[in-house]
Structure 1
Amino acid sequence: MPADFLQLAGKTVLVCGVANRKSVAWHVARLLEEADCRVAYAVRSEARRDQVRKLVGDGPEVLVCDVEHEDQIARLAQDVAQRVGRLDGMLHSIAFADYQDGARPFHETTKRAFLRTVDISCFSLIALSNALKEIFQPQASVVTVSISTTTMASENYGFMAPVKAALDSSLAFLAKSFSQFSEVRFNAVAPGLLKTSASAGIPGYVDSYLYAERATLRGRAVQTQEAAAAAAFLLSPRSAGMNAQRLVVDAGMSTNYFDEQFVRGGH
């Protein structure tokens, strides 16, 4: 196998959404850099930039963009063009669930919370892709981070699952739109439950995580590094034949809901 199997050496990828060392985006960035890929970062605030700068050192560009603000998205595109140059890929690892209204049944979801969550977690992919369309190389790869399933109703995850479903659906429409003038691809890595700082903010997440770990075929939870490896593959030319797809990384959990231990445990 060639040393540069992923063919990422010399490529440039914008990684959006690093928060800390537990972030999926951070693990993806590490793999890209190991493959001799140049990585630039986009984070949501000056404070976050200071935190990420401590992680990455003085070399990479760390740009600020709060995706709730259209002017900042436009400014990011200008900064990328001037300071980074053409992009061979973008990782969109941006998600936020507005739980300000507290835990409540799904049918009581407030319009404010739902629309803000859609804006940050889903529309940001569309807005960033549009803003960067002239900067992407003709065969660039855009990868977002979804979840393994959006159709199993987990009460504590609430309205975030329908938002992720909208994100998944956006892939096909972005891929179709961009096909009119390029070969830019849009795919998602869709992991099972991960142990990240973001997930820790979901009410009752620990119990769900432990259940998911038992439900995997191997009895071990999906690791963030495993989701990151799938994302790195999708960002690479090796996945050139994949477009508008979800790559599920759940260690077989979705095949194992009726395992004997769960069936017997219900009686």
Structure 2
Amino acid sequence: MRGRRGLILGIANEHSIAYGCARAFQAAGAELAVTYVNDKAKPFVVPLADELACSITAPCDVRIPGQLEALFQRIEQEWGRLDFVLHSIAYAPKEDLHGRVTDCSSAGFAMAMDVSCHSFIRIARLAEPLMRQGGCLLTVSFYGSERVVEHYNMMGPVKAALESTTRYLAAELGPQDIRVHAISPGPMRTRAASGLDRFDELLERAAAQAPQKRLASIDDVGALAAYLVGDGAKALTGTVIPVDGGQHVMSG
């Protein structure tokens, strides 16, 4: 990956899936741009970006109009091109996330869809003109998209939409040699996942159920992400790939 340049959205701290991926990209020789969501997150993200020798570190909250566009303008000005993007961001209001799907509010569902799914579409639109020689777009899903996972609630339908979006983007951007994938890790102790109700129980069940009897790590996800961005995966696109110790093959 030496000489390639990539954008990473979604690092919150050293336990983030996005950080595991960024570490793998950097180890393979890529040059990175990293974002932090707001000033509260900045002290946790900037030291990690410095450790990764990132060329660009910038704020980006996809809920703030113009901020995503400003980020891509800066990338165009400083780099002139982009080879890959990792989208690892999701959000749902707590009151909707902790309730039944049946009861979730229209506003809460719309916000979850906008931040967790439509932002990936916006990123694809902004990245396309910078990927003149082709590229790769990655997002992060979860198996609650296709199976009912207790306490995952409204994020299940949202992740299902994200996976469908991945397939449609892959079909539309394939002629430009832009590949699109969703990585679907098993449960992990990340800041985002900690917002789920009774998450420790989910972790224990997942590890016991998986054929490998272990949970995947952020480094496992990073290894797959680096492979998908690299030339070895140049004939692959439109996939949803589980990284979960084999848990996805079990019936329940």
- What TM-score, normalized to structure 1? 0.88
Pairwise CA distance, 1:203: 0.8
Match of 1:136 in 2: 131
Match of 1:219 in 2: 213
Name the CA shift for 1:194/1:85 in 2 (closer, same or farther; >3 Å). Answer: same
Name the CA shift for 1:29/1:102 in 2 (closer, same or farther; >3 Å). Answer: closer
Aligned alpha-carbon RMSD (Å): 1.7
Residue 63 of structure 1 contacts residue 79 of structure 1 at CA under 8 Å; is this kept in 2? no
Secondary structure in 1 matching 2:171: helix
Pairwise CA distance, 1:125: 0.3
**Distance (Å, rounded) in 2 between the aligned partners of 1:102 and 1:234:** 31
Match of 1:5 in 2: none
Cα deviation, 1:51-81, whole Å, max 9, x if unaligned, reads 3112222842111121113311211111111
Match of 1:183 in 2: 177
Q: Does 1:65 align with 2:60?
A: yes
1:1-267 equivalence runs, <5 A: 8-57=1-50, 59-60=53-54, 61-101=56-96, 103-180=98-175, 182-257=176-251
Residue 2 of structure 2 contacts residue 28 of structure 2 at CA under 8 Å; is this kept in 1? yes
Residue 25 of structure 2 contacts residue 222 of structure 2 at CA under 8 Å; is this kept in 1? no
Name the CA shift for 1:102/1:153 in 2 (closer, same or farther; >3 Å). Answer: closer
Which amino acid in the other structure matches residue 169 of structure 1? Answer: S
Residue 213 of structure 1 contacts residue 221 of structure 1 at CA under 8 Å; is this kept in 2? yes
Q: 5+ residue gaps in structure 2? A: none
- 4+ residue runs of structure 1 moved beyond 3 angstroms? none
**Distance (Å, rounded) in 1 between the aligned partners of 2:22 and 2:89:** 14
**Distance (Å, rounded) in 2 between the aligned partners of 1:38 and 1:209:** 33
Secondary structure in 1 matching 2:72: helix
Residue 156 of structure 1 contacts residue 203 of structure 1 at CA under 8 Å; is this kept in 2? yes
- What TM-score, normalized to structure 2? 0.93
**Distance (Å, rounded) in 1 between the aligned partners of 2:41 and 2:130:** 24
Name the CA shift for 1:166/1:203 in 2 (closer, same or farther; >3 Å). Answer: same
Q: Which has the larger radius of gyration?
A: 1
Pairwise CA distance, 1:101: 4.3
Residue 188 of structure 2 contacts residue 203 of structure 2 at CA under 8 Å; is this kept in 1? yes
Name the CA shift for 1:100/1:84 in 2 (closer, same or farther; >3 Å). Answer: farther
Secondary structure in 1 matching 2:94: coil
Cα deviation, 1:222-263, whole Å, max 9, x if unaligned, reads 2221122111211222111111111111211122336xxxxx
Secondary structure in 2 matching 1:134: helix
**Distance (Å, rounded) in 2 between the aligned partners of 1:250 and 1:50:** 31
Q: 5+ residue gaps in structure 1? A: 1-7, 259-267
Cα deviation, 1:100-137, whole Å, max 9, x if unaligned, reads 34622221111111110000000000011112221124
